[in-house]
Amino acid sequence: MNKITQLFNIKYPIIQGGMIWNSGYKLASAVSNAGGLGLIGAGSMYPEVLREHIQKCKKATDKPFGVNIPMLYPNIEEIMNIVVDEGVKIVFTSAGNPKTWTSFLKSKGITVVHVVSSSVFALKAQEAGVDAVVAEGFEAGGHNGREETTTLTLIPMVKEKIQIPLIAAGGIATGRGMLAAMILGADGVQVGSRFAASVESSSHNNFKETIVNIKEGETHLTLKELAPVRLIKNKFYHDVQSLYKKSPSKEDLMQLLGRARAKKGMFEGDLEEGELEIGQISGLIHEILPAEQIIREMIADFEIACAEKAKFEF
Ligand SMILES: Cc1cc2nc3c(=O)[nH]c(=O)nc-3n(C[C@H](O)[C@H](O)[C@H](O)COP(=O)(O)O)c2cc1C
């Protein structure tokens, strides 16, 4: 038992990060059934689609699972009400102010975790009353902080500031990565990219194949003027970089981005025109695997790495 396994009543302190267009009920329930904590990613779901995924998840697992809610969407109130209505017990909020919804969710008996990318916001989340914080470093896939603080530096700095349980995210796909984060002060880890390339991920196979073939250095954090996001360097990414050479306004960037780029890339499999979000650790992901195997291998690797302590003696 550690703080995270206790908080969520799970076997392993491994959380599958909520991921737009990737983490529906199939992935979330597979992770929960394997002893981790699966999260349904509400960010790419209309409210009624989210309700359906929650209901299917309840049928697919009797283990705890949660919902990730990026707070920047207009129908946020409806989403929150659905989560309460469906009896969801764990909510991870991101992309917004933790003060806005934490007390409402807590008043409904929900365990609340907030995702941050700096120690200043970690402290704000703690003050807002959340039960734990996810500190996500610059390496991570998806939307990210502007400051480019790496997981290696972020975790100990957040640990210095907060007393509540700490979950590390960004660049973790192996048991060794998990051990490293825990030695730095994390109580558990949130893993995104590794699960995006899982059998149960709802993303298009073109996207999954791209993840397992990608090499070190082929992602970049861009679009900082809008919402910073780490992207695979495909045609759309290069179009963005070409536009940057012309000193574009925010509106120019928004116009190029248009609507539904992430859906086009990750869900519909358009590798040229779509937005493909993935983390730096994708360079270490070589196979599309079932979620259960990902967790089993992470734990085995974690245990081997723990047993290698003698190797570090000098
Ligand atoms: C494809 C993709 C989509 C993501 N979507 C979300 C999201 O909707 N909400 C969120 O809070 N984080 C999102 N993330 C971040 C993950 O939840 C997780 O924190 C991150 O992937 C961890 O870093 P890693 O990719 O290095 O494992 C996304 C990440 C990826 C790769």
Among candidate residues 113, 103, 99, 145, the one with its CA nearest the CA of residue 13: 113
H-assigned helices in the chain: 3-8, 25-33, 47-60, 76-85, 98-107, 119-128, 151-161, 175-183, 193-196, 205-213, 235-244, 250-257, 261-262, 291-307
- Residue 43 beta carbon below 6 angstroms from any ligand 1 atom: yes
Per-residue confidence (pLDDT) for residue 46, from 0 to 100: 95
- Residue 170 beta carbon below 6 angstroms from any ligand 1 atom: yes
Per-residue confidence (pLDDT) for residue 309, from 0 to 100: 81
- Residue 282 beta carbon below 6 angstroms from any ligand 1 atom: no
- Residue 140 beta carbon below 6 angstroms from any ligand 1 atom: yes
Give residue for tokens 């990414």: 237
CB 67 within 8 A of CB 83: yes
Per-residue confidence (pLDDT) for residue 78, from 0 to 100: 97
CB count in 10 Å sphere of residue 61: 18
Distance 258 CA to ligand 1 centre (A): 21
Q: Report yes or no on whether pTM surpasses 0.85.
A: yes
CB 136 within 8 A of CB 143: no
Per-residue confidence (pLDDT) for residue 243, from 0 to 100: 94
Per-residue confidence (pLDDT) for residue 26, from 0 to 100: 98
Per-residue confidence (pLDDT) for residue 73, from 0 to 100: 82
Per-residue confidence (pLDDT) for residue 311, from 0 to 100: 83
d(CA 33, CA 162): 31
- Residue 139 beta carbon below 6 angstroms from any ligand 1 atom: yes
- Residue 16 beta carbon below 6 angstroms from any ligand 1 atom: no
Q: Which two tokens stand for residue 294?
A: 């990902």
Among protein residues, the one with the nearest Cα to ligand 1's atom 6 is 19
CB count in 10 Å sphere of residue 217: 9
Report the residue among 193, 206, 266 best suited for mutation to probe ligand 1: largest number of ligand atoms under 8 A from its CB.
193
- Residue 274 beta carbon below 6 angstroms from any ligand 1 atom: no
- Residue 169 beta carbon below 6 angstroms from any ligand 1 atom: yes
Per-residue confidence (pLDDT) for residue 234, from 0 to 100: 97
Distance 127 CA to ligand 1 centre (A): 24
Q: Which two tokens stand for residue 44?
A: 């790419």
* Nearest atom, ligand 1, residue 192 CA: 21
* Nearest atom, ligand 1, residue 195 CA: 27
- pLDDT, one tens digit for every residue, the chain (314 residues): 899 999 999 999 999 999 999 999 999 999 999 999 999 999 999 999 999 999 999 999 999 999 999 998 889 999 999 999 999 999 999 999 999 999 999 999 999 999 999 999 999 999 999 999 999 999 999 998 889 999 999 999 999 999 999 999 999 999 999 999 999 999 999 999 999 999 999 999 999 999 999 999 999 999 999 999 999 999 999 999 999 999 999 999 999 999 899 999 999 999 999 999 999 999 999 999 999 999 999 999 999 999 998 888 88
